[in-house]
Amino acid sequence: MRLTDRVEISTLEVFEGPWGPVETETARGTYRANVHYTTVGIATSEAGAKSEAEEIRVILDPMPYDAATMRIVWNGRTYTPNGPAMIRRRDGQIHHVTIPLKLSS
């Protein structure tokens, strides 16, 4: 499989600080991937507020992925999981992982 895009994966760590929970992100590195848009849209509420909806799918080589703690950055935008990672197999071996993501607000 030819992976032509690059994504950065970071891990979100939460620990208890002196004034409550503190979140920090630790970069894990840059990975080869294929990125595909699944949904893009802008919604306007009656009050005039606009919200952006952007969903993508990222295809990666086999790797452990924890949806609760990992974030993916693509084209400078941070995405969070929008469902479980899908493991694809060929001949009984894991071939690639597909991760549905949504744009973080």
- Give residue 43's pLDDT band: very low, low, confident or very high (50, 70, 90): low
pLDDT, residue 55, reads 87
Bridge partner residues of 88 (DSSP): 96
How confident is the model over 66-101, as pLDDT tens digits?
Answer: 888 888 999 988 888 888 888 899 999 989 999 999
How confident is the model over 8-26, as pLDDT tens digits?
Answer: 998 888 888 888 888 777 7
pLDDT over threshold 90, residue 34: yes
Note whether 57 and 89 are within 8 A (CB).
no
Segments forming the whole domain that contains residue 67: 5-103
Return left, alpha or beta for 47; rule: phi > 0 is left, psi -120 to 50 is alpha, else beta.
Answer: alpha
The number of distinct structural domains making up the chain is: 1
Share of the chain above pLDDT 70, in %: 89
- For position 54, which CATH number holds? 2.40.10.370
